[in-house]
Structure 1
């Protein structure tokens, strides 16, 4: 598959809320019709108390949210009712390409990784965390073309990666044709570590 993006950002129990709020807003709303836009926020249940603050900038931009049971109960009465919906299974495997997103709650990093593995298109995935073990586990386990730490998935772009004009994004690992040597059997996994950076318009 080329270019399709079902993109997740996981906020773990240690993630810095001052980084998380602008990162999530930027990843979702900078350009909603592109393949690196956030489709699903995964949030550790220990951080549900922060969800109202995280979604405040999204409400101002009228982002429609499809929330699982715990997230819905947390946001109900705090997020505009016309923009808040209970998530169905299909919302977690959707590339929205619009001002819509899903929210999934989890108890552990392992649960977040399993959710990503089941629903990702292997395009761009991110973690917001201050825990080095969680970060390294996420980087090593997530199967995606670009994996981010504490920064917005909006940076997945050929020009941003110093490759010049982008002609497309491949989420496949093998695309060679004809005789192949070692170089044709290797693949890239871009790892981007940040400290709260967002991509400007």
Structure 2
């Protein structure tokens, strides 16, 4: 059964940092670069047009879509399938609890390991300010709107103020290995 990791959490909880640590520890992990329509950061996304997203929607290839920061973000089946068929372990970044249920229902043949990342709002605010993205208020609003996961949605919880990126990556790898052995 193919495996994938979902890093769930509010802005600045450490999704990018922990993904980098996972990849540094094991090259079979790879960032799932969501499609993005809109401005802002581009380095961890595959940029798309509204027409391209509309075509994916018409063909039933969108697994999850949300809008935030004046942009649209898409988890698409073709990219996920390509990564899984390459024997990679995609790492998806999500901030909406309902996205987890949507992905599990849409792609039940994948063993999803869901990791809830968290840090205090004060730590998140400092991390956001350090990034200097000039959208601190919007990101803190998103932090406030990010709901905790239900117990049945999560495999591992990590407070990133208490766990280094390398330690978090090791814990995630162990959780993934454990879940794959039990499947």
TM-score interval (norm. to shorter):
0.3 to 0.5
Higher relative contact order (CA 8 A, sep 6+): 2
**Larger Rg over CA atoms:** 1
TM-score by length of 2: 0.43
Larger helix proportion of the pair: 2
TM-score by length of 1: 0.40
